[in-house]
Amino acid sequence: MKNFLSSLQLKIRQFMQGRCGPDELTRALYIAALALMLLGAITRLGLFSSLALVAMIWAIYRMLSRNYAARDAERAKWREIKSFFRDELSLLKSRWRDRKTHKYFRCPACKKALRVPRGKGTVKVTCPRCGNRITKKT
Question: Is residue 65 close enough to count as binding Zn ion by CB under 5 A?
Answer: no
Contact 102, 117 (CB under 8 A): yes
The CA–CA distances, whole Å, from 52 to 19, 60, 124 equal 23, 12, 51
Total binding residues for Zn ion by CB under 5 A?
8
Question: Is residue 127 close enough to count as binding Zn ion by CB under 5 A?
Answer: yes
Contacting residue, 57, 92, 110, 123, with Zn ion by CB under 5 A: 110
Stretch near Zn ion under the rule CB under 5 A, chosen from 16-24, 27-35, 74-82, 105-113 = 105-113
CB neighbourhood size of 33 (10 A): 20
Shortest Cβ 129–Zn ion spacing (Å): 5
Question: Is residue 109 close enough to count as binding Zn ion by CB under 5 A?
Answer: yes
Closest by CA to 18, choosing from 58, 56, 63, 57, is 63
Contact 65, 23 (CB under 8 A): no
Q: Which residues bind Zn ion (CB under 5 A)?
A: 107, 109-110, 112, 127, 129-130, 132
